[in-house]
Amino acid sequence: MRKLKRHFNNNLELYKYYRTNSTFLDEKLFIRGKFDIKLSIDTIYLETDIRFSTYYDYKIAEIIANDLIQVYLEAKLNKSNQSKTSENPPLKWTASKASATELIYGLYLLGVFNNGNTDIINIVRYFERVFGIDLGDFYHTFMELKSRKINRTKLSDSMREALIKRMDEQDEK
């Protein structure tokens, strides 16, 4: 996985070009005989048969292969992790979608994941996967939370009260 990450970082611009389905450089990248040595970042160009393919044909094939390898490795790692934790059943979110949305937005706005360097959609998708819930149009749910007339932060307020109550109870003992 580290090697795949390193390859990704070393070829970031090409990954972006490929993943965004861009085409503005296709004539320079994928037509034989039009190779611009200034665009090359490694020596694989010297090993390719320029009569058969281009340097970037190889690089794109490498990206596709690495994506498939990553999916395979992640599946194996997940399967391994699941067998290690099989005695602990997965947690399932049983509160409302509105509560989940409130919690996610609160955590996002506090920047508690990746030092605040992540998108809300990444947090939502992770939350959905880990807790087995489909949040659907979470942005719409957030808009409904904003439009509440009474107690816009119902879950947060309840959590705060429950936590303070538990602390007070333990202080009395």
Give the list of residues 6+ apart from residue 14 with CB closer than 8 angstroms, or none.
56, 59, 60, 63
Question: Is 52 in the same domain as 121?
Answer: no
CB 138 within 8 A of CB 104: yes
Q: In whole angstroms, what is the distance from residue 62 CA to residue 9 CA?
A: 14
Asked which of 57, 84, 111 is the last residue of a domain, the reply is: 84
Question: Is 102 in the same domain as 167?
Answer: yes
Domain count, the chain: 2
Question: Is 59 in the same domain as 109?
Answer: no
Question: Is 63 in the same domain as 101?
Answer: no
Give the list of residues 6+ apart from residue 17 with CB closer than 8 angstroms, or none.
25
Quick check: is 89 in a domain?
no
Predicted confidence band at 97 (pLDDT cuts at 50, 70, 90)?
very high
- pTM surpassing 0.75? no
Quick check: is 154 in a domain?
yes
Quick check: is 91 in a domain?
no
Q: In whole angstroms, what is the distance from residue 5 CA to residue 9 CA?
A: 6
Amino acid at residue number 25: L
Burial of 62 (0-12, 13-18, 19+ CB in 10 A): middle
Q: In whole angstroms, what is the distance from residue 96 CA to residue 145 CA?
A: 12
pLDDT score recorded for residue 108: 94
Asked which of 84, 116, 138 is the last residue of a domain, the reply is: 84
What is the per-residue pLDDT across 25-73, written as a single tens digit (0 to 9) for each? 888 887 877 655 555 555 555 556 666 677 788 888 888 998 899 888 9
Neighbours of 79 (CB within 10 A): 10
Question: Is 55 in the same domain as 118?
Answer: no
Quick check: is 92 in a domain?
no
CB 11 within 8 A of CB 63: yes
Question: Is 8 in the same domain as 77?
Answer: yes
Q: Which domain holds residue 74?
A: 2-84
Question: Is 111 in the same domain as 132?
Answer: yes
Question: Is 59 in the same domain as 127?
Answer: no
